[in-house]
């Protein structure tokens, strides 16, 4: 049975929203504690959702770290580790550290863009190792 255009659009929106929710480690902990990650149908659904890694779909995502989590959820060990609230908190902390580092680094680049001379190393700046 073929989906109508409206049904396809609605499925796209639902799947996009769900994939992005995977960026939240506490939501993953919630799913794990309720046994979703032990169900074959749910694990198969996560595998199906890997199509979001393709560029034409990934460009629609606001939280690209969800793709990393989706990939990690393919591993049984990761899914089992998410049962622990402490592990979810650790993942959250790492995401926050990454965001802070990224924002600081981006701001430094915007404040001090490298000139053409600085971005191209001279031969004296290139270190070579003896053969």
User: What proportion of the chain, given as a percentage, has pLDDT over 90?
Assistant: 63
pTM of the full predicted structure?
0.71
As a whole number, mean pLDDT of residues 75-94 equals: 92
pLDDT tens column, 99-126: 777 767 767 777 887 766 555 555 554 4
Domains of the chain: 5-111 (1.10.10.1340)
Q: Read out DSSP for 67-116?
A: HHHHHHTTSHHHHHHTTSHHHHHHHHHHHHHHHHHHHHHHHHHHHSPPPH
pLDDT tens column, 14-31: 999 999 999 999 999 999
């Amino acid at each position: 049975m073929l989906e109508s255009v409206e049904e396809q659009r609605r499925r796209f929106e639902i799947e996009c929203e769900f994939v992005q929710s995977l960026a939240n480690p506490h939501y993953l902990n919630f799913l794990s504690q309720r046994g979703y990650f032990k169900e074959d149908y749910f694990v198969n659904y996560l595998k199906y959702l890997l199509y979001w890694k393709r560029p034409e779909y990934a460009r629609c995502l606001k939280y690209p770290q969800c793709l990393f989590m989706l990939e990690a959820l393919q591993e049984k060990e990761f899914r089992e580790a998410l049962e622990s609230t402490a592990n979810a908190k650790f993942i959250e902390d790492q995401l926050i550290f990454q965001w802070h580092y990224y924002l600081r680094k981006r701001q430094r680049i915007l404040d001090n863009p490298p000139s053409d001379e600085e971005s191209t190393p001279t031969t004296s700046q290139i270190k070579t190792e003896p053969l």
